[in-house]
Amino acid sequence: MLFHESLGCVSLWRSFPAALAQAAGREVIAYDRLGFGRSDRREDTLGTDFIREEAQTFFPRLREQLGIRRFIVFGHSVGGAMAAHCAAMYAPDCEALVTESAQAFVEDRTRAGIREAEAAFAQPSQFRRLERYHGAKTRWVLDAWIQTWLSPAFADWSLQAVLPQVRCPTLVLHGSDDEYGSTRHPETIARLVSGPSQLLVMPGAKHSPHLENPVQIADYVADFIAKRHR
């Protein structure tokens, strides 16, 4: 089960789901969160608990609709935090957790990266690029990301209370040059989960290693899954 990042959707995973399915020999399911991609639009403002809400409210509906019992969760960026919540809430059914470029708390580096992106998306050409994926929902998608993460009310958010509830094996992936978070994030995740963890910081990789090198990331995840079953 793939959880996309703050501006993401199924289409923006590009070739990675297929590469992961081939490498791991598993069914891979990606979905557009409500308000993103081809899902219905939202009119509300994201609350500061939107990460937990995805796991508590929306993920169970998806599992019920698709008849999913046991699962592995993979989350990119904020999707990694959502995946961690799923692993904690549904621990008996979660076989493994994989986080990629996930934030474990609100860091100045994250906020600085968002401010730079906000300035970039003020350019009509950049906004139109995102609009190809989110259509009329694009402004909501941008505001949901920028306004939430830069809000003073969100400043104290962290995964500190959630990670110890993760008992499954965890693979933590992070790029050394991630523009939205330092290596303190993966180190925190790997240290605080209760189950066995494996940390891999990839030299030179940025915030989306699965787009920079989808086959390599798919192979990392497939090897991690295979080792669990030996």
Each domain of the chain, given as residue ranges in start order, spans: 2-228
Determine the pLDDT at residue 45: 87
Whole-angstrom distance, CA of residue 210 vs CA of residue 101: 10
Q: Beta strands of 13-80 (E only): which ranges?
A: 71-76
Instruction: Answer whether residue 230 shows pLDDT above 90.
Output: no
What class has domain 2-228? alpha beta
Q: What is the mean pLDDT of residues 95-103?
A: 98
Q: What is the distance between the alpha carbons of residues 30 and 92, in angstroms, rounded to a whole number?
A: 22
Average pLDDT value for residue range 199-210:
98
| Cα atoms in the 13 Å half-sphere on the side-chain side of 212 | 15
| pLDDT of 121 | 97
pLDDT above 60: residue 24: yes
Average of per-residue pLDDT values in the chain: 97
What integer is the mean pLDDT of 161-172? Answer: 98
- pLDDT tens digit sequence for 34-68: 999 999 999 888 899 999 999 999 999 999 999 99
